[in-house]
Amino acid sequence: VTETARERNRRGEGTRLRADILAAAAELLEETGSEQDVTLRAVARRVGISAPSIYAHFPDREAIVDAVVDDAFAELKTAITTAADAETLPRQKLRAGCAAYLRFAREQPNRYRLVFELRNPLDADHPGRTIGAVRGETFQHLVDTVQLCIDGGISTSTDAFGDAVAIWAALHGYATLRSGHLGFPWPPYEQTFDRIVDGLAHLTPAASEA
């Protein structure tokens, strides 16, 4: 698979290559589904450069994958908060945020998986790789939204944090199983979504909303 050679960057535009490398790595990851298949040489081939050129922008192969993960998580956070902020009612904020989460996982299943599964933030082999602040903030956003529902009287929950954990787990499991087991007779998408979000957030029926 030979890619078209790319034009050499002009002076001072060396950072453009960095973005190209990241984009190629993300594509490669999404196509192969395996972090280990995102090889330095494969990335270079896709970008249209020689392999050593990558070392001007990343210290080693791992750093590329780390950067892809950081990018992906930032994108996920933006998708969630943007969707939630567009709504005003607590119930709709919660549902919109969760829907955005699932949409990201559905549209880029392998990139999603990498973020949550392959790159264990507490990987024993990589102690420096800690759970990013972005992750904490994103989860906190879910907790806050559940709390909004409680305060708004549309959730009978008494523990926003505990419910947020259950919702996150259920959404994550649904997203990964659904994209992985394509032959399973999945019920309509909305139905399972409703069961998970409404049920685990202890939402009262929608009709009761002011």
Partner DNA sequence: TGTACATCAGTGAACGCGCGTTCACTGATGTAC
Q: Contact residues for DNA (CB under 7 A)?
A: 5-6, 8-14, 16-17, 39-42, 49-53, 55-56, 60-62
Calculate the alpha carbon distances from 154 to 57, 100, 208 in Å. Answer: 50, 21, 8
Choose the contact partner of 192 out of DNA, a second copy, none; CB within 5 to 8 A by kind: a second copy
Q: Pseudo-torsion of CA 35, 36, 42, 44, nearest 10°?
A: 70
Task: Note the residues at the interface with a second copy (CB under 8 A).
Answer: 34, 36, 113, 116-117, 120-122, 130-131, 161-163, 165-166, 168-178, 180-184, 186-187, 191-192, 195-196, 199-200, 202
Choose the contact partner of 51 out of DNA, a second copy, none; CB within 5 to 8 A by kind: DNA
Alpha-carbon gap, residue 180 to 178, rounded angstroms: 5
Choose the contact partner of 8 out of a second copy, DNA, none; CB within 5 to 8 A by kind: DNA
Nearer CB in complex with a second copy: 55/189: 189
Alpha-carbon gap, residue 8 to 162, rounded angstroms: 53
Minimum distance from CB of 71 to a second copy (Å)? Answer: 19
Minimum distance from CB of 68 to DNA (Å)? Answer: 13
How many angstroms separate the most distant Cα atoms in the chain?
Answer: 63
Nearer CB in complex with DNA: 10/122: 10
Could you tell me the end-to-end alpha-carbon distance of the chain, in angstroms, rounded to an integer?
59
Question: What contacts 133, CB < 8 A, 6 or more positions away?
Answer: none
Alpha-carbon gap, residue 3 to 91, rounded angstroms: 48
Contact 21, 43 (CB under 8 A): yes
Nearer CB in complex with a second copy: 56/131: 131
Choose the contact partner of 42 out of a second copy, DNA, none; CB within 5 to 8 A by kind: DNA
Nearer CB in complex with DNA: 38/142: 38
At residue 114, φ and ψ (nearest 5 deg) are -55, -45
Choose the contact partner of 9 out of a second copy, DNA, none; CB within 5 to 8 A by kind: DNA
Nearer CB in complex with DNA: 55/186: 55
Minimum distance from CB of 67 to DNA (Å)? Answer: 13
Minimum distance from CB of 90 to a second copy (Å)? Answer: 19
Cα dihedral across residues 118, 122, 126, 131: positive or negative: positive
